[in-house]
Chains A and B, each alone.
Chain A
């Protein structure tokens, strides 16, 4: 089974600054999908960004971008111009391309605190 590791249990950033959340994963597959989900205190799970492993170009969604290093099996999330509303738990997730029922395999999460 694929494992997803988020080595930073907590991170802190000042408003308007940039922060990077780390994620590494272990897999023997060549094709797969990676996701970052956000869980604010409301506990709703919200998709932030996704990356297909066969695409070399890093995904970007407004202030959110990823640094996908396939050989290193690394998938970090960069949040630019941080806002108070970005405070949440962030989960990195892996999804197999070919099997495992399409379920998401999550890391343990990083709690992001945004200070004024």
Chain B
């Protein structure tokens, strides 16, 4: 049973296109995240949602728009893709407001913009 799943796992697209990455968790968690891992493997938070409400919105271009239709899903839509958007995008989830709770990560989506 996959705890945090992402689709697709690989995405190759051209500059200027619009694409979405979907994330679902079946752990009953109330907080979900999007992280970006660049070509140097550096991981950085993009967004965080708690009970469907946005609580973190880091300095991310407004071409990136997260959508949380319910607590189990957090999708990432990207408009007008640019070469610099090429990266691995990870979805994660955790339970509650307690910081010690483990964040469970999805398998990642490797986005390649050509």
Contacts and interface: CB of A to CB of B under 8 A. Distances in A.
Interface in A15-65: 32-33, 39, 42-45, 47, 50, 52
A102 B42 contact: no
Nearest to B97: A102
Contact of A103 (B33, B97, B100, B102): B33
Interface of B: 31, 33, 35, 40-45, 48, 50, 55-56, 88, 90, 92, 94, 97, 99-100, 102-103, 105, 107-108, 110
**Top 6 A-B pairs, shortest CB-CB distance:** A101-B56, A45-B105, A103-B45, A101-B48, A101-B55, A106-B43
A104 interface: yes
A11 to B, nearest CB: 15
Interface string A96-113: 110011111110110000
